[in-house]
Amino acid sequence: MYVNKVEICGINTSSLKVLKEKEKMELLQQMKRGENPKLAREKLINGNLKLVLSVIQRFTNRGENLDDLFQVGCIGLMKAIDHFNTDLDVKFSTYAVPMIIGEIRRYLRDYNAIRVSRSLKDTAYKAMQAKEALTARNSTEPTIEEIAKEMGAKREDVVLALEAIVDPVSLYEPVYSDGGDTIYVMDQIGDQSDDSNWLDEISIKESIQKLNDREKKILSLRFFNGKTQVEVADEIGISQAQVSRLEKSALDKIKNNL
C-alpha cells in the first residue's frame, strides 16, 4: 500500500529511513546513558516511522483519516521509546507494535461518537482480521466479497459492520461559507417534495461535470455503485489512501461550487 510515493502529514513515506535493530539498540543505550538523549530520541522516532505506517494499515477499512491515525501511532511509538527496557532480550519492534496498536485503539474508542453494538463490533473485528490474513496470504488487499467468503459471512453483514465503525459526519459541519452566513450539512437536508430540489440537482450535476475523469469515476463507483474505498482502489489501481484523498478533494470542489 505504501510502496509508491504517498504523503502523510506532509511526509514523503517513500523517503523514510529504516534503522537496523543494532542501530536502534545503540540509540536506546545512548538515551539510557544520557548521551545527547534528545538527538538519539529524534533519530529513533524518524527511523521507526515506517513501523507506524505498517501498523495503521490494519485500520484502513474503518474510514479513519490516515493523517490522524499516523499522528496517534507516533505517540504510541514515542511511549515505546521512552519505556523500552534495554536490559531485556526483546526486539524494539516486538515491544513497540503493541504500544502503537494500543494507542490507536484507545483513540478510536474514546473518539467514537456513536455506540455500536457488540455483535457489529465483533463482526467488524473479524473482518479486519480476515483482511490481514488474506493480505498476508495473497500480497494484495482483498475485496469485500473475498473477506466475506473468508469469514463465511454475507457481504451485506460485513459492509454493515465496517460502516458501523466509521465516524459519522456532524450535521453542524460547515459545507460552504462566502464570508456571510455559513451553510451546514443540516441545511442541505430537506423535504423531497420541495420544488427547489430540481435546482439543487442541476447545480450538483454542473459541479460534477467540472471534475476530472478520475474524480468522476471515483464518485460514481463510491456513491452510485456502492463500492468501498478499498474496492475502488483495487479497480482503479491506486492505494486506498489516494482514493480517500481524491474523493475528499472532489467533494470539496462540489461543495465550493454550490
Render pLDDT for 141-180 as a digit per residue (tens, 0 to 9). Answer: 888 899 999 999 888 888 888 776 665 555 555 555 555 5
Rounded to the nearest 5 degrees, what angle is found at the Cα of 45, between the Cα atoms of 106 and 84?
Answer: 70
Residue 187 pLDDT > 60? no
Query: Going from the N-terminus, what domains does the chain have, and what CATH number goes with each?
Result: 7-110 (1.20.120.1810), 118-164 (1.10.10.10), 174-257 (1.10.10.10)
Q: What pLDDT score was predicted for residue 63? A: 66
Q: How far apart are CA 124 and CA 63, in angstroms?
A: 12
User: What is the 8-class DSSP label of residue 179?
Assistant: S
pLDDT per residue as tens digits for the range 33-92: 998 989 999 999 989 998 898 888 887 766 677 788 888 999 999 999 998 888 877 888
pTM: predicted TM-score of the whole model, two decimal places: 0.42
The predicted-structure confidence for 124-142, as pLDDT tens digits, reads as follows 888 888 888 888 888 888 8
Flag whether pLDDT at 1 surpasses 50: no
| Residue 142, helix vs strand vs coil | coil
Place of cell 473479524: 126
3-state secondary structure of 246: helix
What's the average model confidence in pLDDT over 227-255?
A: 84
Average pLDDT, the chain: 77
- Examine the pLDDT at 2 and tell me if it is beyond 60: no
| CA angle, 27 then 29 then 30, to 5° | 60
Question: Tell me, what's the pLDDT at 26?
Answer: 92
For the segment 15-32, what is each residue's pLDDT rounded down to a tens digit? 677 888 889 999 999 998
| CA-atom Rg of the chain in angstroms | 22
Q: Are 11 and 49 in contact (CB under 8 A)?
A: yes
Within a 10 A sphere around the Cβ of 74, how many other Cβ atoms?
18
Q: Which tens digits make up the pLDDT trace of 190-204?
A: 444 444 444 455 566
Give Cα 206 distance to the centre of its chain.
30
DSSP bridge partners of 12: 7
